[in-house]
Amino acid sequence: MRSVIQRVSEASVTVDGEIISEIGTGLLVLLGIEDADGKEDIDWLTQKIANLRIFGDENDVMNRSVLDVDGDVIVVSQFTLHAQTKKGNRPSYIKASKPDIAIPLYENFVQVMAQKLGKKVGTGIFGADMKVKLLNDGPVTITIDTKNKE
């Protein structure tokens, strides 16, 4: 499971001209899923994201988590995070899971994230042409891959 986490002042996801998710201060999480991913990856990654200390404290030091600042989260599925670019100029997405595997894992990830935060988590629509708008705060952008835990 691969993620790009962006600290945002605001973010939204629009599909067919309609805003389906919108947050203020919080995190926009782009999530890539591959066939080898499972419950252990979901548990580890949601815990890591919920507790990442990337928000400023009273001294403007990144020492607070999204939980500490009562921030919101949007999770958007993004198969392109598993692009392989070694050969040629057209990325290969062979490592990205097909919908029959990815959708249940994505939905479970969102559910577990919501449990850890104690609030609803915004989403995109799996497979839709989404327009993601964000105001990256900092900018702070962190990448985490569950295959690189150690």
| Active site positions, annotated | 78-80
Under a CB-based contact definition with an 8 Å cutoff, are residues 135 and 8 in contact? yes
**Residues linked to residue 16 through DSSP beta bridges, in sequence order:** none
Structure tokens at 106: 């994505």
User: Does residue 13 contact residue 76 with C-beta atoms inside 8 Å?
Assistant: yes
**DSSP secondary structure letters along the chain:** -EEEEEEEEEEEEEETTEEEEEESSEEEEEEE-BTT--HHHHHHHHHHHHH---EE-TTS-EEE-TTTTT-EEEEEE-GGGG-B-SSSSSPB-TTBPPHHHHHHHHHHHHHHHHHHHTS--EE--TTS-EEEEEEEEEEEEEEEEGGG--
